[in-house]
């Protein structure tokens, strides 16, 4: 009953927050900004709020489990996993609404056509939204057997990068790519992503080495192989996305450099 209640509460919270923000934006800016962009901005705001909540709760859990990082428990660890599970379902629905307003050609077609159109253009995100809860929800709720709340708390905190990612995306949608704010947000995005999603893995291994009183380099040989494999897979994906971000930043700075050189040449 508690699980069902938390799941329902999560679904209602995310959906109602999106509907409320969308209504506010549409009532205030629909005469200036298109509906698809306003819906997407609403989606991004909810994503940021979820990320901030995840980071805050993760910080509370990790701070509370500083004694024995393997055995100390915190009630928020499992509770938030259950509460946040419907987010993936809500997010797919909200993404479809954005897609519906972006592509006018599907609005007069049957619903099934629209869904197929949406799935074809969002394959990577759909895989992410299916695979992530299938793997991590059982891992947090069932497979840990009550151990490692500290590590789950740290993983909750990797969501800190999301607000910077969506803020940069929002600036791009609002045609503000040439502003200093866009550049600054991009740099902050890269820094927070690198810290929270890449360096977090060496940090976790270092904390376990202190707990087990062993060398940092001995940690991989003293933990289950599934932990090493899981961390390696996630780390490779994060490094891949970080590389894409850095490449994009280099492209932006190069464009700024070329523009400055062109302006300087034209004034001479």
pLDDT of residue 128: 80
Each as own residue / partner, the long-range contacts of residues 208-214 (CB below 8 Å, 24 or more positions apart, any chain) are 208/69, 211/68, 211/69, 211/70
pLDDT of residue 265: 65
Token reading at 60: 């509370």
**pTM score:** 0.88
Residue found under tokens 């464009």: 255
pLDDT of residue 259: 72
- pLDDT value at position 250? 86
The pLDDT, as a whole number, for residue 237 is 85
Buried b / exposed e over 60-94, threshold 16 CB at 10 Å, is: bbbebbeeebeeeebebbbebbbbbbbbbbbbbeb
- List the chain pLDDT tens, one digit each, 268 residues: 588 899 999 999 999 999 999 999 999 888 888 888 999 999 999 999 999 999 999 999 999 999 899 999 999 999 999 999 999 999 999 999 999 998 888 888 888 888 899 999 888 888 888 888 888 888 888 888 888 999 999 999 999 999 999 998 888 888 888 788 888 998 999 999 999 999 999 999 999 999 999 999 999 999 988 889 888 888 888 899 899 999 988 887 877 777 777 766 666 5
Q: Which residues contact 133 (CB under 8 A, 6 or more apart)?
A: 85, 88
Radius of gyration of the chain (CA): 21
Reduced DSSP (H G I as helix, E B as strand, rest coil) percent helix, strand, coil of the chain, to 5: 85, 0, 15
Report pLDDT for 263. Answer: 67
Please give the structure tokens belonging to residue 118.
């949406």
DSSP string, 88-137: HHHHHHHHHHHHHHH-GGGTTS-HHHHHHHHHHH-HHHHHHHHHHHHHHH
Give Dmax over CA atoms of the chain in angstroms. 75
Backbone dihedral region for residue 85 (phi beyond 0: left; psi -120 to 50: alpha; all else: beta) = alpha
Give residues with Cβ within 8 angstroms of 239, minimum separation 6.
198
Closest CA to 137 of 102, 87, 201, 198: 87
Query: So what's the pLDDT on residue 267?
Result: 61
Enter the tokens of residue 126.
């759909």
- Residue 249's pLDDT is 85
Look at residue 8 in the predicted model and tell me its pLDDT. Answer: 94
- Yes or no: say if 22 and 93 are a contact pair by the CB < 8 Å rule: no
Helices 86-102, 35-64: inter-axial angle, 10-degree rounding: 160
């Amino acid at each position: 009953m508690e699980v069902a209640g938390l799941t329902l509460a999560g679904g209602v919270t995310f959906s109602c927050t999106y509907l409320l923000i969308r209504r506010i934006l549409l009532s205030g800016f629909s005469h200036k900004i298109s509906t698809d962009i306003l819906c997407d901005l609403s989606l991004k705001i909810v994503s940021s709020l979820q990320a901030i909540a995840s980071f805050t709760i993760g910080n509370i859990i990790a701070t509370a489990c500083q004694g024995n990082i393997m055995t100390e428990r915190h009630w928020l660890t499992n509770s938030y996993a259950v509460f946040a599970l419907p987010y993936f379902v809500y997010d797919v629905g909200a993404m479809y609404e954005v897609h519906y307003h972006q592509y006018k050609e599907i609005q007069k077609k049957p619903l099934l056509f629209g869904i197929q159109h949406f799935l074809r253009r969002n394959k990577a995100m759909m895989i992410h939204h299916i695979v992530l809860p299938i793997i991590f929800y059982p891992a947090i709720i069932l497979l840990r057997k009550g151990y490692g709340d500290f590590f789950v708390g740290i993983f909750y905190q990797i969501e800190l990068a999301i607000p910077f990612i969506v803020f940069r995306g929002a600036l791009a949608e609002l045609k503000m790519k040439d502003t200093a704010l866009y550049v600054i947000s991009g740099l902050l995005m890269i820094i927070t992503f690198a810290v929270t999603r890449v360096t977090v893995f060496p940090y976790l291994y270092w904390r376990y080495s202190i707990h087990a009183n062993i060398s940092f380099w001995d940690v991989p040989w003293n933990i289950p192989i599934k932990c090493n494999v899981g961390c390696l897979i996630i780390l490779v994906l994060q490094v891949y996305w970080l590389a894409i971000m850095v490449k994009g930043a280099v492209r932006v700075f190069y464009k700024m450099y070329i523009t400055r050189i062109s302006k300087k040449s034209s004034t001479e």
